[in-house]
Structure 1
């Protein structure tokens, strides 16, 4: 026999038990959990799961209970709680071998990145809405377009150089801007700086990335081993690009900048170089722009801000980005940069 109840994650002993159980199943504890639920044999967790925003995460079942439908029971409880909270669309990242368990509960496949991860959604088909919106954007625009995905935290002369090279070589260029709010520069600011910095380029459309471009949905960090993390992230994100984004925008070529600093982005580019040609797409890797023997990068710009070297920023930034950083509107962001240590 077993019992079931909410796991009170605010209680240290409850959180520790959840952490120990997930670790024993090769999983990490999800960050920013709103709600967790568990099935118990005595005082020991035998199955659990968590709700994080609109995502179901940390779903695990002890091996000797796999035949008792525990995963479905956990997911059903999390879905019930999500509906109570008014969340009409839910997402789950699972292993490809586990897809059937969730399809039977009404989830639909968005993308599969073998052997790492599959992204599923429940509720309205948001991926269909996303595709339809991209198709509307692409109406009347040329075939064999090009694409760049960028965060631009903030928008630099390096970003501008990449866009100019791609635009000069393409009938039309789409810049998909990462919308996830995990950067020091908010999305609306990043989007505005890209638009202002590229105002003179005529064959260009700037598109918010939404949930399906380098977002939490495409980062299966909570169930992969550390050494596979970057590859799993890249594979799932690129499968969504290949299956949904490229066909909708009539994209033939994806441009990227060389990545000398960030290991995760470097792995991402390596996976892209493997996957895109296999699916009839082209990847073009462009050398980074340099000034005074320094590679121009957003991380370098943020470091100059931390060190109060504002006089050096002009060498790295379009005039519109520089003027923004000199304005009162940027002061709160500058304060955040000075107290942060992360790469983004």
Structure 2
């Protein structure tokens, strides 16, 4: 490395990020959704290798073909992994091109999902296997509905969907989104669900997972991005869902609410429908619950709380009880997420 320099670029520098963007275009890669970028430059200050990360996901990886045998990729991955571990993450994921996956397999990563466009790997495959075993060991019943819910907070709309599924399907399992980037914490959202479903005899709450709707598998769930990026992320998340529920003896149906007001989630639902159909898993989209012809959404509840407007009629009593234990206005100011997530 004597004639080469490896360093983290300043993501606030348009000059630096433009150079990385242009470099990655040569490899047909898009530079987006990152919180750190590491580059290697030659003696002429030309970028010859780079990789980035978003939370605990390594992505945007490229090395000039003239330097492919210089072990630069290993150096980049080792260095950026140190940063991920410093941020208290205990598992690292990789998004890369399928032709690159063997490189990561050689340094301790295993495939979760690979298609002709993308490879998604982890360095803790046993965590994934344990979660899959946990899911499949708990499933009972012949006709099962699976609901993935963020519930930020749980509204009467979520309640309507749960009640609908409980009446139509023999058994209902709810998986809360585990990613803690919402206004309400994972534990608070899980408690909202637990309290709401306690009187349902055929509804059970499962543990959330880093493998379903997280910033690893589906970062654009939490952001607004270009359609093609949303679709690519959705395909990964949908196929991970298929893998987790494959080979079960029960009939599985993914149940979701329609999304008239969310372009991102509507795209996600369309991709999910296509992928599940190809893999013999059911998909049902239920018309959203409305009050006075207005869709009841968690974003409306958050907005009304922030603006001191009426919100309690939009949520069940169990949700009110939990929200009133939180200094919600202070949290909204600190986290600045009342409009998103």
Q: TM-score, with normalisation over the residues of structure 2?
A: 0.85
Residue 194 of structure 2 aligns with which residue?
195
Q: TM-score, with normalisation over the residues of structure 1?
A: 0.84
Q: Is the 8 A contact 2:20 2:31 kept in 1?
A: no
- Relative distance call for 1:198 and 1:21 in structure 2 (3 A) is same
Q: Is the 8 A contact 1:17 1:45 kept in 2?
A: no
Q: Which moved more, 1:123-132 or 1:237-246?
A: 123-132
Alpha-carbon deviation of 1:25? 1.1
Residue 32 of structure 1 aligns with which residue?
35
- Any idea what SS the aligned residue of 1:217 has? coil
Q: Is the 8 A contact 1:173 1:204 kept in 2?
A: yes
Residue 270 of structure 1 aligns with which residue?
270
Q: 1:33-58 CA distances to partner (integer Å, 9 max, x unpaired)? A: 3x735242421221022455533233
Q: 2:340 aligned to 315, 331, 343, which one?
A: 343
Q: Which moved more, 1:115-124 or 1:193-202?
A: 115-124
Q: How far apart in 2 are the matches of 1:336 and 1:163?
A: 32
- Any idea what SS the aligned residue of 2:48 has? strand
Alpha-carbon deviation of 1:273? 1.5
Residue 166 of structure 1 aligns with which residue?
165
Alpha-carbon deviation of 1:270? 0.6
Residue 122 of structure 2 aligns with which residue?
121
Q: How far apart in 1 are the matches of 2:250 and 2:2?
A: 53
Q: Is the 8 A contact 2:290 2:296 kept in 1?
A: yes
Q: 1:52-78 CA distances to partner (integer Å, 9 max, x unpaired)? A: 553323322235545666434533554
Q: Which runs of 5+ in 1 are unaligned?
A: none
Where does 1:92-241 land on structure 2 (aligned, <5 Å)? 92-112=94-114, 114-123=115-124, 125-138=126-139, 141-219=140-218, 226-241=226-241
Alpha-carbon deviation of 1:85? 8.4
Alpha-carbon deviation of 1:29? 5.6
- Any idea what SS the aligned residue of 1:283 has? strand
Alpha-carbon deviation of 1:245? 3.6
Q: How far apart in 1 are the matches of 2:325 and 2:11?
A: 45
Cα RMSD (Å): 3.1
Residue 316 of structure 2 aligns with which residue?
318
Q: How far apart in 2 are the matches of 1:324 and 1:79?
A: 37
Q: How far apart in 1 are the matches of 2:233 and 2:45?
A: 35
Q: Is the 8 A contact 1:324 1:330 kept in 2?
A: no
- Relative distance call for 1:75 and 1:3 in structure 2 (3 A) is farther
Where does 1:17-56 land on structure 2 (aligned, <5 Å)? 17=16, 19-26=18-25, 27-28=30-31, 31-33=34-36, 36-50=38-52, 53-56=55-58
Where does 1:290-329 land on structure 2 (aligned, <5 Å)? 290-310=290-310, 313-329=311-327
- Relative distance call for 1:257 and 1:142 in structure 2 (3 A) is same
Q: How far apart in 2 are the matches of 1:48 and 1:314?
A: 49
Q: Which runs of 5+ in 2 are unaligned?
A: none
- Relative distance call for 1:247 and 1:195 in structure 2 (3 A) is farther
